[in-house]
Amino acid sequence: MTTLTTTPAVARVVSPILRVGIVGCGNIADNHFQALTALPHVEVVGVADVDRARARSFAGERGIPRAVTSLADLLELGLDAVTVCTPHPSHEDVVTAAARAGVHVLCEKPLAVDVAAAERMVAAAEQHQIILGTVFQRRFWPAAQNIRAAIDDGLLGTPMLGHCQVLLHRGADYYRSAGWRGTWSADGGGVLMTQAIHYTDLLQWFMGEPVEVSAKAGAFVLSDVIEVEDTAAAIITFSSGAIATLSATVTAAPSLGTRITITGSRGGTVSLAEYPEGADAVNDVWTLPPQPRATSVFASGLAADIPVAEVNAALLPLHRQQLADFVDAVRTGRPPAVPGRQAMTSLLTVQAVYESARSGQPVRLPLAPDTTFNHLAAPSPVA
């Protein structure tokens, strides 16, 4: 790997071909492969998965030269970067090992299952001068970009009120199809950690730094299938004084998609809606000049629930954009669209929801450095 240090913070890859490895050959890995191979001067040279047969099958079907069962063997291939598609708890070991090897990393969300682990990952990236990005591909929706631009341009004023609603469906078969799903040890949480964290990221991207969370959560419908929450609701206060609500469930039948609404200090309201899940979001309410407008994503009626594999496939265009951004960041030495440290904000918010739900008390942020959470004690439903 040939690098040239451009700033004290990160090294820029200047070799003509960017050599990339994929860690983990699960469902989302194919999106990474397709996005990477669509880019010029990028080569996926190997994949790693603890399941040897799955690694070989994934590589063989896609013409990837090497399939290995350990990260160490993958890193020996002379990589410039890796993308991480493994279960949540393994992210820390993968990222820190890649950082020590001087290999840049794009990691699927959530960055980790607790803030302490995420902090260690970010510290390793900074120490070894590698880029660490996190996949929050929905930031690349034009509808999300429109809201961010309205905030940056001052058209909306200061965001003062936000609403984030996540009404999705994951049935018992979804959790039973993989033994690790719906567990604290492997998933790190339920709807908030695995599905709603995408929209929590967007909410804080629009609203700013969270400073207090008050929440309730529990397994209201799937308690005999999962040990994590299937439903949660929170009130979040931000450093500006703004407030927002966050509500999420995987028990809506059928799924009604997701929606984020922001009202600014100048009186305007903007929102985005994703329906059905995996579709491009639209700005369904936009009261800002010069063309206020409103529409409904339900105008054509309700759609049947879409299998998760099809949702992932529908997100490929957004993965293409985020992978292209990451590759450009690696080549130029600039920060990626969602740096690891920025990705910690949504994780911290989710952790604060869990802690507030357990304690019954508001949780102030930022947390003390020695704060720990008991991930194995599931939140109890409200009586």
pLDDT tens digits along 134-157: 999 999 999 999 999 999 999 999
Q: Which amino acid is at 24?
A: G
Q: Is the pLDDT of residue 243 over 60?
A: yes
- Same domain flag for 78 and 184: no
297 pLDDT higher than 90: yes
Query: Does 127 lie in the same domain as 20?
Result: yes
Q: In terms of domains, do 155 and 268 share one?
A: yes
Q: Which of 135, 160, 188 is the last residue of a domain?
A: 135
Res. 376 pLDDT band, cuts 50 70 90: very low
Q: What is the pLDDT of residue 370?
A: 55
Whether residue 351 is found in the same domain as residue 228: yes
Q: Are residues 49 and 170 in the same domain?
A: no
Share of the chain above pLDDT 70, in %: 92
Residue 80 lies in a domain: yes
Provide the pLDDT for residue 1: 38
The reported pLDDT for the residue numbered 4 is: 34
Over residues 93-104, the pLDDT tens digits come to 999 999 999 999
Kindly report, residue by residue over 317-353, the tens digit of the pLDDT. 999 999 999 999 999 999 999 999 999 999 999 999 9
pLDDT in tens, 156-168: 999 999 999 999 9
CATH code, 70: 3.40.50.720
Same domain (yes/no): 152, 295: yes
CA distance 2 to 18: 10
Look at residue 116 and tell me if it is in a domain.
yes
Same-domain status, 202 and 349 = yes
State the average pLDDT over residues 238-249.
98
* Average pLDDT for 165-193: 93
349, 213 in Cβ contact below 8 A?
A: yes
The pLDDT score that the predictor gives to residue 175 is 95
Quote the pLDDT of residue 8: 39
Are 123 and 242 contained in the same domain? no
- pLDDT tens digits along 258-272: 999 999 999 999 999
Token pair listed for 332 = 């130029």
Tokens describing residue 44: 């996926």
Place of tokens 């960017």: 18
pLDDT, average across residues 228-257: 98
Does residue 383 contact residue 233 with C-beta atoms inside 8 Å?
no
Which element (helix H / strand E) includes 202? helix 197-207
Given pLDDT bands bounded at 50, 70 and 90, which one contains residue 179? confident
Domain residues for the domain of 47 are 3-135
Q: Is residue 329, in this structure, part of any structural domain at all? A: no
Q: Which residues fall within 8 angstroms of residue 124, CB to CB, at 6 or more apart?
A: 95, 96, 99, 100
Q: What is the pLDDT of residues 72-111, one digit of tens each?
A: 999 999 999 999 999 999 999 999 999 999 999 999 999 9
Q: What percent of the chain has pLDDT over 90?
A: 88
- Shared domain for 262 and 173, answered yes or no, is yes
- Average pLDDT in the 205-218 region? 98
Domain contains 23 = yes
Does residue 318 form part of some domain?
Answer: no
Cross-strand partners of 214 = 235
pLDDT at 337: 97
Tell me the per-residue pLDDT of 274-291, one tens digit each, with 9 for 90 and over. Answer: 999 999 999 999 999 999
10 Å Cβ neighbour count for 103? Answer: 26
Q: Which two tokens stand for residue 172?
A: 């018992």
